[in-house]
Amino acid sequence: MARRPEGPWDPGLQIERTTLAWLRTTLAFVIGLLVLLRLMGHVNLLAALICAALALPLGLTIGWLLWRRHLDGERRLRERAPLPGGALPAAVTALAVVAGCSGLAFVLFA
């Protein structure tokens, strides 16, 4: 791969703003998860630990996919190739729905 070109792709810094939006969203996920696990720890410590063990690799994977999407997007913009598709947004949507349903389960059954 060629050396990363200097300077942004456009003066609006679109890709940078988009990646930052992804980062904020990931942070919101992680913080929400930590709070939920903390609360769950009061009810069932084992379940909380299992959830944490499952969530940690998931979070790292999302972070890695995110970074790859950024580099890929930047390369495609410069090559005038189409941007990445909707697989990651769909995955994040599914994750958010799962998070909401676990929250509901926590409120109704814990």
Residues forming contacts to other proteins in the complex (CB under 8 A) are: 10, 12, 14-15, 17-18, 21-22, 24-25, 28-29, 32, 35-36, 39, 42, 73, 76-77, 79-87, 89-90, 92-93, 96-97, 99-101, 103-104, 106-108
Residue number with CB closer to other proteins (11 or 57): 11
Residue whose entry in the numeric block shows the structure tokens 């810094």: 13
Half-sphere exposure of 77 (CA within 13 A, CB side): 15
Nearer to other proteins, 10 or 44 (CB): 10
**Number of neighbours of residue 31 by Cβ within 10 angstroms:** 10
User: Measured from the CB atom, is 5 or 103 closer to other proteins?
Assistant: 103
CA angle 38, 43, 48 (to 5 degrees): 50
Query: CB 54 → other proteins: shortest distance, Å?
Result: 18
Query: Beta-carbon neighbour count of residue 33 at 10 Å?
Result: 19
